[in-house]
Amino acid sequence: MSESNPNAANYTAANIQSLEGMEHVRMRPAMYIGDISTRGLHHLVYEVVDNSIDEALAGYCDTVFVTINENNSITVEDNGRGIPVDMHAKEGVSALQVVMTKIGAGGKFDKGSYKVSGGLHGVGVSCVNALSSHMRTEVFRDGKIYVQEYSIGKPLFAVKEEGTTDKKGTRQTFLPDATIFDTTEYSYDTLANRMRELAFLNKGIKIQLTDKRAVNEEGTVKSELFHSTEGLSEFVRFIDQSRPSIIQKIVHMERTDGPIPVEVAMVYNDSFNENIYSYVNNINTHEGGTHLQGFRRGLTTTLKNYAEKSGLLDKLKIEISGDDFREGLTAIVSVKVAEPQFEGQTKTKLGNKEAVSPVSQVVSEMLEAYLEEHPNDAKAIVGKVILAAQARVAARKAREMVQRKGVGSGGGLPGKLADCSEKDPVKSELFLVEGDSAGGTAKQGRDRVFQAILPLRGKILNVEKAMQHKILENEEIKNIYTALGVYIGTEEDSKALNLTKLRYHKIVIMCDADVDGSHIETLILTFFFRHMKELIEGGHIYIATPPLYLVKKGNKAEYAWNEEMRDALIAEMKGAGQESSVNVQRYKGLGEMNAEQLWETTMNPEKRTLRKVTIENAAACDHVFSMLMGDDVPPRRAFIEANAKYAKIDA
């Protein structure tokens, strides 16, 4: 019998916390919006915009205005029906107050109001209200303006009339609670990527994004209108604008009359990557699911049948696999499901079995018609498939040379790797360091128990423009694979990454703080995004931030990570003593620091700053990587010119 606990007698009904929905949101915000960092902050906007998109899907709204105000509050306005304001029979208050203050309340749960709705969790605007220090709702309905305001989710007054109007719709303004979120500063680019995505996924809708914090010399605020008339075809064109197409036009397929509306757009380019993005009710299902399964089935069956009938495969001596049909393919699959069932690690994998057949059928019928009508395109696609099959055989041989044997025993590890003694991957870190010189310093400065060092010689291969077997033959990339202990290929997908024997759960890119260092950093990130995306999605990839300056005066020395910190330290040190020549050292390379300095500033877990690499919007990332790292110069030049104001001359 176990010993009695003296506190057990005090465990009564008073110890049981009964939290109302809104209180629970504030106590456990990550359960509702993912996290309380930048991602969760922006998720608040998406929840409110989703309501407007739902109005549009139901046929009642065509314009949404999203505004970042000067104080980082957000205003979202639409021209929909407006939230109902009449009395709610069960709750005894205005329906508007119920929607704004009760978790799980809203029209999305009434099948008569919305056939399908966006948003992953259905917590909606009441969750946003609970996590805002102040929120104001204005409803334009029946010729009148109705208003209610809230503080941390609680009404400040009953819903009241405040004048007349000829408008219709809803305007929501909210200020995120600074006591909840790590940061309350919104990123225009992050919001722009999502608004652009929503416009592509819901053709015809106009979304105006305005940033009142950004005003140019003429007094004009930064603003952008997102509006797509072609939908997914335009989306594919946007993603693929830096990649030369091998077919004449984008293949577009759409069916809205079935139980599950399906829209698909696809094109083949001259790259060696497969880029398929799938959506359910505007949610990016980056783990795929049954709709993606249907797309792959329809694509593979149709192309294989065409290739065999045409006799184009007669001379091929190797078997074609499903992977071969998707090399160089950029595609977007979007379905609308009334009651989606989400599975997977992050609940972004569609589980509805009834989605397979409609997608497969649409792809088969429309792709078959396209191939018959465009024989030259069909021949180009099959030619690409044959090349992919031949490259796959070469890649398999290269992969066999890379695969680790006896992971954990140290066998087969790269000679340059200085491993750590810790065997638990969760506690182990691997630093990918630019150059042998900095690698040597890092080896001396590290904690040998849990920190491993892999020096990389020069600039690794630009994988954006290389075939799989060429990538696997590259010495530096081979070293990364073998050091990490991962291998390529599963029964379902021969290109998938198997992470079961990952040796380090924290992989840190550590490069010089100069132009060359930034380029190497980008090359490594391109490799991870294209060939080890699972590591990024799992939260394993980080970027080290070595200091830029050492500011010294006498015996006092301080590090600075940017110009503002440097100038503040100079001013502080000048004011502290009689002499005026403070010494400033600019670190251009990691090798300029000794081992102790590198440990103190960049590697010591108690003092360092690491930036975690995340993928907020995979389609937008794809667009940027192909534009920056591909062969097409004009889009890259336009990007550089647009962002030149952020560039600094490396003095």
Take residue 634 and report the two structure tokens written for it: 């004009």
Task: List the one residue out of 485, 611, 472 whose CA is nearest residue 530.
Answer: 472
- In angstroms, the first-to-last Cα distance of the chain is 73
How many other C-beta atoms are found inside a 10 Å radius of the C-beta of residue 626? Answer: 26
**HSE, side-chain direction, 13 A CA sphere, residue 504:** 25
Per DSSP, the three-state class of 136 is strand
* 506-510 vs 583-586, strand pairing mode: unpaired
Catalytic residues, by residue number, are 434, 512, 514, 516
Give me 7's structure tokens.
Answer: 């506190």
The one-letter amino acid code at 202 reads N
User: How many residues make up the chain in this entry?
Assistant: 651
Query: HEC string of 460-529?
Result: CCCHHHCCHHHHHHCHHHHHHHHHHCCEECCCCCCCCEECCCCCCCEEEEECCCCHHHHHHHHHHHHHHH
CA dihedral over 469, 474, 479, 481, signed as positive or negative: negative
CB atoms within 10 A of CB 77: 21
> Which backbone phi and psi does 587 adopt, to 5 degrees?
-85, 115
Q: 132-141 and 144-151: which strand pairing?
A: antiparallel
Q: Give per-residue burial for 501-531: e unless 16+ CB within 10 Å, then b.
A: ebbbbbbbbbbbbeebbeebbbbbbbbbbbb
Strand partners, 586: 549
Q: Tokens 């667009």 correspond to what residue?
A: 623
Q: For residue 364, what are its two tokens?
A: 């088969």
- How far apart are alpha carbons 95 and 404 in whole angstroms? 61
Q: What is the 3-state secondary structure (H, E, C) of 341-394?
A: CEECCCCCEECCHHHHHHHHHHHHHHHHHHHHHCHHHHHHHHHHHHHHHHHHHH
